[in-house]
Amino acid sequence: MKALIILSALLVAASAKTLTRCQVVKALKDSLLTEFHQYSVADWVCLAHHESQYNTLEIGRDTKNGKDWSTNYGIFQISSKWWCDDGKTPNSENGCGMKCSDFMNNDENLIADINCAAKIAKQQGMEAWSSWVENCKGQWLSYYTYFCF
């Protein structure tokens, strides 16, 4: 049984798609996210770096009182509690009207992630992501896009 669990973990890790910084820049530079003039492409790349290290198949857990509260999906770690439906999170708001699996892509197609992130930013700004506030807000971020345009 232990071998099966280890093999499963290795298969998931092997299938994960971690983009380069410049691949993320390329996906975002002409996207809907550039319509938010208060945020630069570098802000979004910084967010993706701190949320998922550019891993398009990243899954994270939020806990509350020691129990799983919600699951976060994709390169921007979009929450199943508020923004998508994973079929497991009770009382999901599903603010983006999407399945959380839509954010789990093994390529550079980040359209679903971008569309939902735009909806989140429109409603709450990038402050919706604590990692952006802690690591990117008000920081010099130009190096996130250097040599990528």
The 10s digit of each residue's pLDDT in 107-148 is 889 999 999 999 999 999 999 999 999 999 999 999 999 999
Burial of 87 (0-12, 13-18, 19+ CB in 10 A): exposed
Nearest to 16 by CA among 105, 149, 147, 148: 105
**What residue segments make up the domains of the chain, in order of their start?**
21-144
Amino acid at the residue 27: A
Architecture of the CATH domain 21-144: Orthogonal Bundle (1.10)
What is the value of pTM for the model shown?
Answer: 0.86
